[in-house]
Structure 1
């Protein structure tokens, strides 16, 4: 599998970045904020990027113990609840999806982003991702996945150019296409004392409806950038406009044979989630 990505000095839409690049050294990150709860403060809320329009924002302002109104749990999964600090506690075995989905005109630029503090265990893994549950043409963008500080994989990002064996998609869709996921490790780009399980980071993916690439980035609470990566082009990588795409938050067990003892915090804490667009 080719792992072709490229660093850039400033945030920009994926369409204006060269499409075929190689994995290279990335921007060094400035120190991130501490892992203490950020709370429901003005400076922790998502601000729209210049020229972008919010179509979805959730800052999880509900009372402690309540479920978020803009999300629903997936069938058979655990429950994610708000903690009263302006955060969502995505607990052990919780999986949820946004109630709204988005079908956007071709050429629309999309930026999905979430501010997250990852678990520190080696027995569960968590993710923030984009799901395009089209039974004929299923796709997935993994904005960030974390296996924790005790696992060699650490954190990674990438995409599944198909999405297999779910009620929303055709069974064995991936097998039929012969396309495996393309994933890139990114643990090495975070400061040792401010990795995703020690500090808050906002993780983003930018893509264009009808496009072929995804631009991934991670920023600390001071807007210091850990990395900016462009995926190799593939016309099936990003959502089309034949079916709405949704956002997903997941917290799953690793298989027992892959579990590593240790860690104290199984929950993924989410400060906010947003979807921004630029229409053509």
Structure 2
């Protein structure tokens, strides 16, 4: 074979080898996948660097929460009055009020069938129960009533402490009729002068005159106490020295408030039980005035309420 022929054969052989090597490289690259480089295995393997731990950040504390405002303690309810005595005068017409006692030598009183008590002319009754209460007890005597419209008799609701040695009386209301100068009054007594036949003011002579307050000037134009039902109240503390009076007219408006002059003798004590009285007396003949037609007092209800010394304090 000539030299030229051998050169041609050798060249073709070299070209084929080059083609074969290129094909193998392309095949290897295709097997590894695009973008992936084969692991280098020649030479000593270097140890992988230790894994770096991400710096731990202390958990952020939540901002302190503002505690809800503490609810204020509930305002205690004002002490409640306890009803010691109540009469609404329910019952058939003509029957006797069973919580009252008929006073000797006086006319009686009777229910009228309309839930009212009629205290007629020259009548007087006393509550059957009486009360002795601990010192410091607050007492509230109340009634709803309409007075006679005459000026010949006077009707009253009063509290009596019937001790002959130390008598005391609170007139919750006392009416002399629409034509009298006083008209109506309230007050207290620390003496009883039952000896009217001797024409001597024995209580006054002893320096124990009653303390009275006319209240007729408080009756504004409109329904008067002898024309419609009014509410009357008297409050005192057992062992105290003052009486508080007030009244509400037929529409519920407060007509007056009066406080007595401090004097411990004007408040019922505990020597004997105190009672309630409803009375309707005649005035002296020389003081009678004509007019009017209704001599009776009508009472819708009467109550006695108390606040114990603990509750009242």
2:194 to 127, 149, 165: 165
Q: Is the 8 A contact 2:225 2:249 kept in 1?
A: no
Q: Distance in 2 between matches of 1:225 and 1:105?
A: 30
Instruction: Measure, in 1, the Cα distance between the counterparts of 2:248 and 2:229.
Output: 9
Matched residue count: 227
Look up the match of 1:122.
151
Q: Secondary structure at the match of 2:286?
A: helix
CA displacement at 1:164 relative to structure 2: 3.3
Greater percentage in helix = 2
Say which SS state the counterpart of residue 86 (structure 1) adopts: coil
Kept in 1, the 8 Å contact 2:123–2:279? The answer is yes
Q: Return structure 1 stretches of 4+ with deviation > 4 angstroms.
A: none
Spell out, residue by residue over 1:28-64, the C-alpha distance to the aligned partner (whole angstroms, 9 max, x if none).
xxxxxxxxxxxxxxxxxxxxx9610000000000110
Does residue 204 in structure 1 map to residue 233 in structure 2?
A: yes
Determine the structure 1 residue equivalent to 2:105: 76
Secondary structure class of the residue paired with 1:236:
helix
Q: Does 1:279 find its partner at 2:308?
A: yes
Residue 153 of structure 1: CA displacement? Answer: 1.5
Q: Which residue of 1 aligns with 2:244?
A: 215
- Mapped contact 2:223–2:250 kept (Cα < 8 A): no
Q: Within 1, Cα distance between the matches of 2:291 and 2:251? A: 30
**Residues 56-113 of structure 1, C-alpha deviation per residue, up to 9 Å, x if partnerless?**
0000001100110000111110111000000000000000100000000000000001
Structure 1 residues 123 and 50 mapped into 2: Cα distance closer, same or farther (>3 Å)? farther
The answer on 1:237 being equivalent to 2:270 is no
**Which ranges of structure 1 fall in alignment gaps of 5 or more residues?**
1-48, 167-171
User: Residue 131 of structure 2 corresponds to which residue in structure 1?
Assistant: 102
1:144–1:62 distance in 2 versus 1, CA, 3 Å? same
In structure 2, the partner of 1:5 is none
Aligned-partner SS, 1:194: coil
Deviation at residue 225 of structure 1 after TM alignment: 0.5
* 1:138 and 2:167 aligned: yes
Contact 2:117 2:300 in 1 (8 A): yes
TM-score scaled by length of structure 1? 0.78
In 1, distance between residues paired with 2:141 and 2:285? Answer: 32
Cα shift at 1:223: 2.8
Distance 1:242 1:105 in 2: 12
After TM superposition, give the deviation of residue 219 of structure 1 in Å: 1.2
- Higher RCO structure (Cα 8 Å, ≥6 apart): 1
> Unmatched 5+ residue regions in structure 2?
1-77, 196-200
In 2: Cα distance, 1:181 partner to 1:113 partner: 21
Query: In 2, distance between residues paired with 1:173 and 1:59?
Result: 38
When the two structures are superposed, what TM-score results if normalisation uses the length of structure 2? 0.70
Question: Which residue number in structure 2 is paired with residue 255 of structure 1?
Answer: 284
Structure 1 or 2, whichever has the larger Rg, is: 2
Contact 2:186 2:213 (8 Å CA) reproduced: yes
CA contact (8 A) 1:165 1:173 kept: no
Which residue pairs with 2:140 in the alignment?
A: 111
Write the distance in 2 (CA, Å) between the matches of 1:192 and 1:221. Answer: 12
1:192 maps to what in 2? 221
Kindly state the Cα deviation for residue 216 of structure 1 after the two structures are TM-superposed: 0.1
| Closer, same or farther: CA 84–260 of 1 in aligned 2, 3 Å | same
CA RMSD of aligned residues (A): 1.7
How far is 1:133 from its partner?
0.2
